[in-house]
């Protein structure tokens, strides 16, 4: 690349970076997108394996509550690119969407690749505006310096490339480096100390929408029997409930999975922020499962007490309450012999089975991460308060949300919002 500064370097070609590039290119800015990986949007493509849940159909004021204490800040970006706008944007790329039974919104073909292909084509060959230039296998290595003259300020960035280190000069930098999960897809969270060195406040990345490790009594993890026979087995239509020390409660019906190390699955992901924070505060998180949520406590007790004759307890519970092998294995795992033989305790446990979560599974396995660039370190345009001209967007910002399309929605919306901030910044820089 020449020594003339480029107007804007977008680093990170995930959904946040690509959306930022789209806004800037449409405004006639020459955008250069850099990414460490050989191809763009690898995590976006992975999301396509699960059907690519793009957004959610619930009303905007409910939608924004999914961002918890960051609801107000995220609403600021989301109102500029809400669910209708996301659907229109996909349609503009030739991708129809539909609202699923759970109100989640997906592309009709439930795939990410056709959407990404059409998007890249439009970015490279826009009907109006400047084509986006992509520089793959360019890993920003943390080197960044800012030089200021009386008329202008420029950034010097350094990238590791297959041809050795390359320097790039630019008027503004938009970072969209992702969180820290699934590092092999490119977002490895290595940027955390680099931004701290620039005086940008960063909360450590931690797993969100993640699985958990469990302990049973004094033993870490499931018994050999449960692990070998039931790891990978789903528990369908159970209710998971938990409460933290501050009295925040979670209770929802859904599906989860017994794993080699503990538990995971959509229901567990939905409870994961509460459980993770509780483990951080107290060392463990207590949750309860209702294995038969559609029955009253009286009905369960009556069925447990029903004379079982010569039948084993397992076949009795299977025939009276349709409890499956995995339910029975959990009851055996978590109850004492005495409790199993006491109808009152057994009936209570079927609807109130205690499981102790002792830790999250590693960040790399999580669907997303919490933590990242603190929103207080950025102004309303997502520009660093301490280092003007440096913007950030996407999952690398300090917000979190459950699965349900909220993650991609916020990444797309924040990419767009930050790009608008860049336009304001560049315009102001020209005239000052």
Ligand X SMILES: Cc1cc2nc3c(=O)[nH]c(=O)nc-3n(C[C@H](O)[C@H](O)[C@H](O)COP(=O)(O)OP(=O)(O)OC[C@H]3O[C@@H](n4cnc5c(N)ncnc54)[C@H](O)[C@@H]3O)c2cc1C
**Interacting residues toward ligand X by CB under 6 A:** 11-17, 34-37, 42-44, 46-47, 50, 52-53, 139-140, 176-178, 181-182, 186-187, 190-191, 367-368, 394-395, 405, 407-408, 411
Q: Nearer Cβ to ligand X, position 161 or 356?
A: 161
Compute φ and ψ for 358, nearest 5 degrees: -110, -15
Name beta bridge partners: 202: 373
Distance CA 371, CA 384 (A): 16
- How many C-beta atoms lie closer than 10 Å to residue 375's C-beta? 20
CA 162 to chain centre: 31
Q: Nearer Cβ to ligand X, position 54 or 289?
A: 54
What is the smallest separation between the CB atom of 315 and ligand X, expressed in angstroms? Answer: 39
What is the smallest separation between the CB atom of 144 and ligand X, expressed in angstroms? Answer: 11
Cβ contacts of residue 369 below 8 Å, gap of 6+? 179, 180, 181, 189, 205, 206, 207, 208, 363, 395, 400
Q: Nearer Cβ to ligand X, position 137 or 352?
A: 137
Joined together, the tokens standing for residue 351 give 């609807």
Inter-axis angle of helices 83-92 and 406-431, to 10 degrees?
Answer: 80
Query: Most distant CA pair in the chain: distance in Å?
Result: 92
Cβ atoms 155, 173 nearer than 8 A: yes
> How are beta strands 368-373 and 202-208 bridged, if at all?
antiparallel
Q: Nearer Cβ to ligand X, position 327 or 417?
A: 417
Q: Nearer Cβ to ligand X, position 34 or 89?
A: 34
The closest of 94, 137, 138 to 117, measured between CA atoms, is 94
What is the smallest separation between the CB atom of 397 and ligand X, expressed in angstroms? Answer: 8
Q: Nearer Cβ to ligand X, position 170 or 351?
A: 170
Q: Nearer Cβ to ligand X, position 290 or 414?
A: 414
What is the smallest separation between the CB atom of 181 and ligand X, expressed in angstroms? Answer: 6
What is the smallest separation between the CB atom of 412 and ligand X, expressed in angstroms? Answer: 8
What is the smallest separation between the CB atom of 375 and ligand X, expressed in angstroms? Answer: 15
CA angle (313, 319, 325) in 5-degree steps = 65
Distance CA 109, CA 96 (A): 8
What is the smallest separation between the CB atom of 410 and ligand X, expressed in angstroms? Answer: 8
């Amino acid at each position: 690349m020449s020594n003339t500064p480029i107007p804007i370097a977008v680093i990170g070609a995930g959904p946040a970076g690509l959306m930022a590039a789209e806004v800037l290119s449409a405004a006639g800015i020459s955008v250069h997108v850099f990414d460490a990986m050989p191809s763009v949007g690898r995590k976006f493509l992975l999301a396509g394996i699960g059907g690519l849940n793009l957004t959610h159909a619930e009303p905007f004021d409910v939608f924004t509550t999914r961002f918890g204490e960051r609801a107000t800040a995220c609403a600021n970006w989301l109102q500029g690119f809400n669910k209708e706008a996301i659907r229109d944007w996909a349609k503009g790329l030739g991708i129809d969407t539909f609202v699923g039974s759970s109100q989640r919104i997906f592309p009709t073909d439930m795939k990410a690749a056709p959407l990404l292909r059409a998007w890249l084509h439009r970015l490279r060959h826009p009907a109006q505006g400047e084509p986006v230039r992509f520089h793959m296998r360019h890993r920003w290595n943390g080197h960044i310096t800012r030089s200021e003259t009386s008329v202008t300020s420029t950034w010097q960035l350094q990238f590791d490339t297959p041809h050795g280190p390359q320097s790039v000069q630019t008027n503004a930098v938009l970072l969209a480096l992702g969180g820290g999960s699934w590092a092999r897809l490119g977002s490895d969270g290595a940027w955390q100390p680099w931004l701290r060195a620039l005086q940008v406040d960063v909360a450590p990345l931690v797993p969100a929408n993640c699985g958990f490790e469990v302990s049973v009594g004094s033993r870490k993890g499931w018994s050999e029997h449960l692990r070998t026979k039931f790891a990978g087995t789903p528990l369908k239509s159970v209710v998971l409930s938990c409460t933290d020390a501050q009295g925040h409660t979670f209770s929802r019906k859904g599906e989860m999975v017994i794993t080699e190390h503990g538990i995971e699955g959509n229901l567990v992901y939905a409870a994961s922020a509460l459980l993770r924070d509780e483990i951080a505060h107290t060392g463990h998180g207590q949750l309860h499962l209702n294995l038969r949520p559609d029955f009253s406590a009286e009905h369960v007790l009556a069925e447990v007490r029903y004379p079982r004759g010569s039948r084993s307890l397992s076949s009795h519970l299977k025939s009276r309450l349709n409890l499956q092998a995995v339910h029975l294995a959990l009851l055996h795992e978590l109850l004492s012999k005495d409790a199993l033989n006491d109808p009152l305790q057994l009936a209570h446990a079927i609807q109130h089975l205690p499981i102790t979560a002792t830790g999250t599974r590693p960040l790399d396995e999580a669907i997303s991460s919490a933590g990242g660039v603190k929103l207080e370190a950025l102004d309303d345009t997502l520009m660093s308060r301490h280092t003007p001209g440096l913007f950030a967007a996407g999952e690398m910002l300090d917000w979190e949300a459950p699965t349900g399309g909220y993650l991609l929605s916020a990444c797309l919306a924040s990419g767009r919002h930050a790009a608008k901030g860049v336009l304001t910044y560049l315009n102001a820089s020209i005239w000052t």
